[in-house]
Amino acid sequence: MDKVIVITGASDGIGAALAKKLSTTGAKLVLAARREGPLAEVAKQAGHALAVVTDVTRRDQVQRLFDRAVAAHGRVDVWVNNAGRGISKSVLELTDADVDEMMQVNVKSVLYGMQVVAPHFRERKAGQIVNVSSLLSRVPFAPQRSAYNAAKHAMNSLTANVRTEMKASAPDIQVTLVLPGVVATHFGNNALGGGLDSRTMPNAQPVDEVAQVIADAIATPVDEVYTRPEYAQTIAGYYATTKR
């Protein structure tokens, strides 16, 4: 796979697993995260990928990430917006700061990534944006995630709108939405306010399995993919039984 792939949130979890998975395909990787030490270690394990310490909640740093990728490799072929953070607080307990944090990390970071890379893709008439969402963006199975769920739902909407725009004006550009369920990572521990360890939750999906689904969606692009086929049935079943 001779592609230049940028992955945000690459120091741990899905991003790190995806980097290691893609490193075996011959892809040229540019990895971004805030934590320099863990990011450097993942970059080393992924075949000495380029590590760029980046706070994706800052537009200027996302632009710098893009610039570093192009300076190193001459182009970007795939941009994976994977960085995100959860919360452990019910809707009625949310503060303004809680909501702002969830929107900044889970929505605006994705917006910055899309806006930075889209002109490059348009110029090249090629490219793929991959946005990592959550099953919880479509079903309220974990209300304590509240503003996280809402932020991911907003991200889904932005993704769908960008896809529609691209199909009309730049049909060679692919926009892919990925929807995992519970994944066995540190996501729960790192949630705002703490939370259950996702690695101990029933039916947590192995992170390598999720990374493989994303890698497959890059190798053979699709508009949307659940990381387990049964999740689509779960969504359909929920809305079929919801009382109006």
- Please determine, for residue 242, whether its predicted confidence score (pLDDT) is greater than 70: no
112 catalytically annotated: no
pLDDT digits (tens, 9 = 90+) for 204-237: 999 999 999 999 999 999 999 999 999 999 999 9
Tokens of 67: 């610039």
Q: What are the backbone angles phi and psi of residue 196, rounded to the nearest 5°?
A: -65, 145
SS (H, E, C) 72-117: HHCCCCEEEECCCCCECCCHHHCCHHHHHHHHHHHHHHHHHHHHHH
4-241 CATH: 3.40.50.720
In this predicted structure, what is the pLDDT of residue 202? Answer: 85
- Please determine, for residue 71, whether its predicted confidence score (pLDDT) is greater than 70: yes
Point out the catalytic residue in the list 112, 148, 226, 231.
148
- Please determine, for residue 98, whether its predicted confidence score (pLDDT) is greater than 80: yes
In this predicted structure, what is the pLDDT of residue 200? Answer: 87
- Please determine, for residue 1, whether its predicted confidence score (pLDDT) is greater than 90: no
pLDDT digits (tens, 9 = 90+) for 2-47: 999 999 999 999 999 999 999 999 999 999 999 999 999 999 999 9
**Cβ atoms of 45 and 71 closer than 8 Å:** no
29 forms beta bridges with 5
pLDDT, averaged across the chain: 96
pLDDT digits (tens, 9 = 90+) for 124-176: 999 999 999 999 999 999 999 999 999 999 999 999 999 999 999 999 999 99
pLDDT digits (tens, 9 = 90+) for 72-92: 999 999 999 999 999 999 999
Q: How many residues does the chain have?
A: 244
In this predicted structure, what is the pLDDT of residue 44? Answer: 97
pTM above the 0.85 mark? Answer: yes
